[in-house]
């Protein structure tokens, strides 16, 4: 009985089945890994292109600031310590009231107070 199971299967059917399985695996990888990654990259690029002067942003390093200038290759971010230039890819998210609610309001108030204090000096 064991010898029946150990015999090789007929050659014609297994190669076509193998091709079908490889195709199914490729399609699965595409929809589970490649496509979502491309979609996320496209959303991030559109977000970075839509940023305008005056928008409060948070950079990937955790730095908070306001966009002072938009240039071809990056942004000039205005912080409390001065103006710094960053690549567009360094902007991780927008820090607005619509997205962060009360946190953004509190941050705007403290920023305005500090700006007023620096102007007085």
Count up the domains in the chain and report the number: 1
Give the end-to-end CA distance of the chain in Å, rounded to a whole number: 96
Q: What pLDDT sits at residue 30?
A: 92
Helix/strand/coil for 72: coil
**Residue 5: inside a domain:** no
Q: What is the DSSP letter of 62?
A: S
Cα(65)–Cα(79) distance, integer angstroms: 5
- 65 lies in which domain range? 34-108
**Residue 8: inside a domain:** no
For 12-42, how does the pLDDT look when each residue is reduced to its tens digit (9 = 90+)?
557 888 899 999 999 999 999 999 999 999 9
Helix/strand/coil for 60: coil
Q: What pLDDT sits at residue 90?
A: 86
**Residue 7: inside a domain:** no
**Residue 19: inside a domain:** no
pTM value? Answer: 0.55
**Residue 69: inside a domain:** yes
């Amino acid at each position: 009985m064991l010898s029946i199971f150990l015999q090789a299967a007929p050659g014609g059917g297994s190669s076509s089945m193998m091709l079908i399985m490889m195709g199914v695996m490729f399609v699965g990888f595409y929809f589970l890994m490649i496509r979502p990654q491309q979609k996320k990259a496209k959303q991030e690029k559109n977000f970075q292109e839509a940023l305008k002067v005056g928008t409060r942003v948070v950079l990937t390093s955790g730095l908070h600031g306001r966009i002072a200038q938009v240039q071809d290759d990056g942004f000039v971010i205005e912080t409390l310590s001065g103006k710094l230039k960053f690549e567009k890819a360094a902007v991780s998210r927008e820090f607005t009231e619509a997205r962060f609610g009360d946190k953004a309001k509190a941050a705007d108030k403290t920023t305005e107070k500090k700006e007023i204090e620096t102007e007085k000096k």
